[in-house]
Amino acid sequence: MKHSIPHDLSMELARKATRRAFQSYAERFSDFKPTADWVDENTARISFSAKGLTLNGGIELKPTEALLDLDVPFVMRPFKKKALKVIEEEMRDWITRAKNGELDGDEEE
């Protein structure tokens, strides 16, 4: 099941905000070894490690939303809700920053 994070940004700003959000998340939660492998300009494979297990998933950017999906082993299901919540909060923060013009000077990564 995909988790939707709505946005009203241009695709360019949505990409910048998403990349910055994941970068910030990776710095704040480095113990979980988050990685994002951008397979194209709007799709990334992501992973996190927790309690000796790796959670894999993806982010797909659409014109009005970012779709987040995590494949979580059964024993880690309680972690899924928390992970989605934290990622969504980070995304919303960077979407707001993008709307406020704070990313206008950023180069596309």
Domains, the chain, with CATH or none: 3-98 (3.30.310.80)
What pTM, to 2 d.p., does this model score?
0.83
- What pLDDT, on a 0 to 100 scale, did the predictor assign at position 109? 46
- Name the DSSP letter for residue 9: S
Helical (H) or strand (E) element with 32: none
pLDDT along the chain (109 residues), means of 10: 90 94 90 92 91 87 94 76 84 94 67
